[in-house]
Chain A
Amino acid sequence: MPPTDTTSPADPLPERAADGTPGKPPTRVPCGIKFEKVVKRFGDNVVLDHLNFEVAAGERVTLIGPSGSGKTTILRLLMTLEHPDGGIIRVGDDPLWHMERGGKLVKANERHLHEMRKRIGMVFQQFNLFPNMNVLRNLTEGPVHVLGLGKDEAVERARGLLDMIGLADKEDAHPTQLSGGQQQRVAIARALAMEPTVLLLDEVTSALDPELVVGVQDLLRDIAANTDVTMLCVTHEMGFAKDISNRVLMFDQGRIVEEGTPEAIFEDPEEDRTREFLSAILAT
Chain B
Amino acid sequence: MNWDWHYSGQVIPDLLDGLRVTIIATIFGYLIALVLGLVWALLRRSPSRVLNQAVRWVTEFIRSTPLLVQLFFIFYVLPAWGVTLGALTAGIVGLGVHYSTYTAEVYRAGIDDVPRGQWEASRALNLPRRRVWFAVILPQAVRRIIPTLGNYLIALFKDTPFLLGITVVELLGSAYDAGAHSLKYLEPITVAGLFFIAVSVVSSLALRRLEHRYATN
Contacts and interface: CB of A to CB of B under 8 A. Distances in A.
Contact of A141 (B115, B120, B125, B139): B125
Interface stretch (A45-53, A113-121, A153-161): A113-121
B143 A132 contact: yes
B140 A194 contact: no
B123 A145 contact: no
Interface residues of B, number: 18
Interface residues of A, number: 25
Given A126-B117, A141-B131, A132 B139 contact: yes
Contact of A128 (B121, B126, B128, B139): B121
A81 B119 CA distance: 9
Contacts of B139: 132
Contact of B124 (A114, A122, A126, A131): A122
Given A128-B117, A141-B135, A121 B127 contact: no
Interface in A134-154: 141-142, 145-146
B118 interface: yes
B136 interface: yes
Contact of A79 (B123, B135, B136): B123
Given A124-B117, A128-B118, A146 B140 contact: no
Interface string B126-166: 11100100011001100100000000000000000000000
Contacts of B127: 141-142, 145-146
Contacts of A145: 127-128, 131, 135
Contacts, number: 57
B117 A190 contact: no
A118 B127 CA distance: 10
Main secondary structure of the interface of B (DSSP, over half): helix
Given A141-B135, A145-B131, A130 B121 contact: yes
A246 interface: no
A130 B126 contact: no
Contacts of A117: 123-124, 126
B125 A142 contact: yes
**Max chain B Cβ within 10 angstroms of own Cβ: one of A129, A133, A142:** A142
A194 to B, nearest CB: 6
Contact of A146 (B118, B126, B143): B126
Given A130-B136, A132-B143, A124 B120 contact: yes
B131 A79 contact: no
Contacts of A126: 117
21 contacts: A79-B123, A81-B123, A114-B126, A118-B126, A122-B124, A124-B120, A128-B120, A129-B121, A130-B118, A130-B121, A130-B136, A130-B140, A131-B140, A132-B136, A141-B127, A141-B135, A142-B126, A146-B126, A146-B128, A194-B125, A194-B126
- Would you list the 4 A-B pairs with minimal beta carbon distance, nearest first? A128-B121, A128-B117, A142-B125, A122-B124
